[in-house]
Chains A and B, each alone.
Chain A
Amino acid sequence: MKKEKSKMDVFESLRGMQPAAPPDFLFNSILNAIEQPEFTTTAPMIPIRQLRAVAASLLLLACLNGFAIAQKYKPGPKMNNQTEYSNLTNSYNLYE
């Protein structure tokens, strides 16, 4: 049965097909469109892929920058009554 079906023309179902009529209003709408001033309908091409890549790069750069700043200004040990002076000087001695 399947073999018989395979032998059949793929386009068998299109036999006897009648053309569809375009709607009546179409001609008037074409005439209206012709009366409109001509303008280019093609939208300006936006390089969306490049824009996405640039946005991703900027985001990555911002993250890396934030991370670098966070590393640079890492808070030292918190001071309390038990904090030894030597610890503080180790952390804040800029001339070391």
Chain B
Amino acid sequence: MYTDEELLQAVAQGQQEAFAKLYQRFATQVYNTALSYLQQTEDAEEVTQDVFVNIHRSASNFQGNSTVRTWIYRIAINKCMDKLRQKSAQNRFRLFPLQPEINEPPEFRHPGILLENKEAASRLFHHIYSLPETQKTAVILSYVEDLPRQEVADIMGTSRKAVESLLQRAKKSLREKLDAEDS
């Protein structure tokens, strides 16, 4: 059983088998993060592909300042943000920009949600999508990916306290939006 670091080192040396193992270990996490972030299957697949191509090409640049998992999550989050910015820029370049509401994701239903929670989770994801970038990242990594707060802080390059604060603000904002919908 290889550690993540050993696998990455083997990938850097060009061992395809190691790359396949690394993919098996992290593909689900990367894909789910992208899916929660972008809320569109095609975009999540595209970002997952970009992330692993990036891992393959920059494996030799890994400094070891963080864990491999943190490093991969960081690449995934950055790629998701790039994708959203790219989509937003595409809209800006149009001769007749789309209405903001048209640019929002279509109704998203995460395939892993329990049947009885589908409706509530769909509404929640809709509001998560409109959160500011940092709050959105903190929410997805903490509550969807269920990562420890310290790891979320490491991925985001911030302190644990800052993550707690982002989560508090995100929770308040989401609660207000959900309550406004209910009333």
* Interface residue tally for chain A (C-beta within 8 Å): 26
CA distance A36 to B32 in the complex (A): 26
Q: Is the CB of A14 within 8 A of B144?
A: yes
Asked if B113 is at the interface of the complex by the 8 Å CB criterion, the answer is yes
CB neighbours of A2 from chain B (8 A) = 179, 182-183
CA distance A90 to B183 in the complex (A): 78
- B35, B114, B124, B183: which contacts A16 (Cβ < 8 A)? B114
CB neighbours of B31 from chain A (8 A) = 20-22, 26
CB neighbours of B120 from chain A (8 A) = 12-13
Q: How far apart are A34's CB and chain B's nearest CB, in angstroms?
A: 5
> What class of interface size applies to chain B in its complex with A?
35 or more
CA distance A11 to B57 in the complex (A): 37
Q: Is the CB of B27 within 8 A of A26?
A: yes
Give the number of residue pairs across the A-B interface with Cβ within 8 Å: 83
CB neighbours of B169 from chain A (8 A) = none
User: Interface readout for B91-124 with A: 1 if CB under 8 Å, 0 if not?
Assistant: 0110000000000000000111110010011001
Given contacts A15-B114, A17-B112, 19 further A-B contacts (CB under 8 A): A6-B175, A10-B174, A11-B124, A13-B120, A14-B117, A16-B114, A17-B113, A17-B144, A20-B35, A20-B110, A20-B111, A21-B28, A22-B48, A26-B27, A27-B20, A30-B52, A33-B49, A34-B53, A38-B57
Smallest CB-CB A-B distances: 5 pairs: A18-B112, A13-B120, A22-B31, A13-B121, A13-B117
A sample of 29 inter-chain contacts (CB < 8 A) reads A2-B183, A5-B182, A6-B175, A6-B179, A10-B171, A13-B113, A13-B120, A13-B121, A13-B124, A15-B117, A16-B114, A17-B110, A17-B114, A18-B112, A19-B112, A20-B110, A22-B27, A22-B28, A22-B30, A22-B45, A23-B45, A26-B27, A26-B31, A27-B23, A30-B52, A34-B56, A34-B57, A38-B57, A48-B92
B interface residues with partner A (beta carbon < 8 Å): 20, 23, 27-32, 35, 45, 48-49, 52-53, 56-57, 92-93, 110-114, 117, 120-121, 124, 143-144, 171, 174-175, 178-179, 182-183
